[in-house]
Homo-oligomer: A and B are copies of this chain.
Amino acid sequence: MTLSTSFQPLYKQVYDQLTQRLVNGHWKPAEALPSEMALAAELGVSQGTVRKALNQMVAENLLERQQGKGTYVAEHTQESSLFRFFRLREPDGQSLIPDTQVLSSARRAATKTESIKLNIKGKSQVVQLLRLRSLQGEPVIMEKVVLPLSVFPNIDKELEMPNSLYTLYQDKYGISIVSVRDELRATEIPDEYADKLNLAVGSPVMMVERQSINIDGRVVECSEAYYATNKYVYATEHR
Binds B, one of A11-19, A34-42, A64-72, A84-92: A84-92
Contact mask for chain A residues 176-220; partner B; CB cutoff 8 A; 1 contact, 0 none = 001111111111100000000000000011100100000000000
How many copies the complex holds: the figure is 2
- Interface check A233, CB cutoff 8 A: yes
Complex alpha-carbon distance, A238 and B82, angstroms:
12
- Indicate if the CB atoms of A183 and B91 lie closer than 8 Å: yes
Once A188-B204, A205-B204 are accepted as A-B contacts, the answer to whether A183 and B233 lie under 8 Å apart by CB is yes
Complex alpha-carbon distance, A89 and B85, angstroms:
21
Complex alpha-carbon distance, A45 and B209, angstroms:
49
- Indicate if the CB atoms of A238 and B204 lie closer than 8 Å: no
- Indicate if the CB atoms of A239 and B185 lie closer than 8 Å: no
Give A39-87 interface residues, CB cut-off 8 Å to B.
60-61, 84-85, 87
Q: How many residues of A contact B (CB 8 A)?
A: 32
- Indicate if the CB atoms of B179 and A239 lie closer than 8 Å: yes
Complex alpha-carbon distance, A192 and B205, angstroms:
21
Q: Could you say which residues of chain B place their CB within 8 Å of the CB of A181?
A: 235-237
Complex alpha-carbon distance, A98 and B205, angstroms:
25
- Indicate if the CB atoms of B239 and A61 lie closer than 8 Å: yes
- Interface check A169, CB cutoff 8 A: no
- Interface check A227, CB cutoff 8 A: yes
Complex alpha-carbon distance, A1 and B51, angstroms:
27
Q: Pull 17 A–B residue pairs with CB atoms less than 8 Å apart, ordered by A.
A: A61-B239, A84-B238, A181-B235, A181-B236, A181-B237, A182-B235, A182-B237, A183-B234, A184-B233, A186-B206, A186-B227, A186-B229, A187-B204, A187-B229, A188-B204, A236-B236, A236-B238
The 7 closest A-B pairs by CB, nearest first: A204-B204, A185-B229, A186-B186, A186-B204, A183-B233, A184-B234, A186-B206
